[in-house]
Amino acid sequence: MQLNFDSPKPIYQQMVDEVKKALARGELSPGDKIPSHKERAQMSQVNPNTVQRAYQEMEREGLTETLRGQGTFIRNDPALLQNIRTEMAQAAIRQFIEEMRELGIAPDETERLLRGQLYKEEG
């Protein structure tokens, strides 16, 4: 796991995103057991309170569920993968739009450039 301490994104959020990316890439699947937050803290040498916060966030977002006495699991929900992919795609698009805006490129031009690029890559 690559954590970036120079990033403005909080560490616990980076840890949540890592799990989402692992799911999107198929390295993790719904129903998989993941390490306890204590184990995760040791493995990544990250502050246990920070890891706990990441785990709480994943649970809050419905990404994981904790079964008493059994551990933490990726929620076994078929819609989960699709939701995560959509969510991450939208986040990437928002960032792209933001960067275009910062470059002073108007929406219609952004759209034209994007289409051109997509078309070029397909062709």
Partner 1 sequence: MTGVTEHTQPNVIEMTGVHKRYLLKHALQGIDLRIKQGTIVGLLGPNGSGKSTLLKMLAGLIYPSSGLIRVNGREPDVRNKAHIAYLPEIDHLYNWMTVKETLSFIASFYRDWEADKAAQMLDAMNLDPKQKVRNLSKGMRARLKLIAALARNVPLVLLDEPFSGIDPSSRSAIIRLIIREFRTDEQTIVLSTHSVKDSEPMLDDVIFLRDGRVHIHDTAENLRMEYGCSLENLWEKVYA
Q: Residues in the site for partner 1, rule: CB under 8 A?
A: 3, 5-6, 8, 10-11, 38, 41-42, 44-50, 52-53, 56
Closer CB to partner 1, residue 7 or residue 82?
7
Q: How far is the CB of 83 from partner 1 (least distance, A)?
A: 23
Closer CB to partner 1, residue 1 or residue 106?
1
Q: How far is the CB of 37 from partner 1 (least distance, A)?
A: 9
Closer CB to partner 1, residue 52 or residue 83?
52
Which is nearest to 59 in space by CA: 51, 120, 11, 7? 51
Closer CB to partner 1, residue 95 or residue 117?
95
Q: How far is the CB of 48 from partner 1 (least distance, A)?
A: 5
Q: Is 81 exposed, middle or buried (0-12, 13-18, 19+ CB in 10 A)?
A: middle
Q: How far is the CB of 101 from partner 1 (least distance, A)?
A: 20
Q: Please state the three-class secondary structure of 12-28 as a single string.
A: HHHHHHHHHHHHHHCCC
CB atoms within 10 A of CB 16: 22
One-letter identity of residue 54: A
Which is nearest to 19 in space by CA: 39, 43, 35, 8? 35
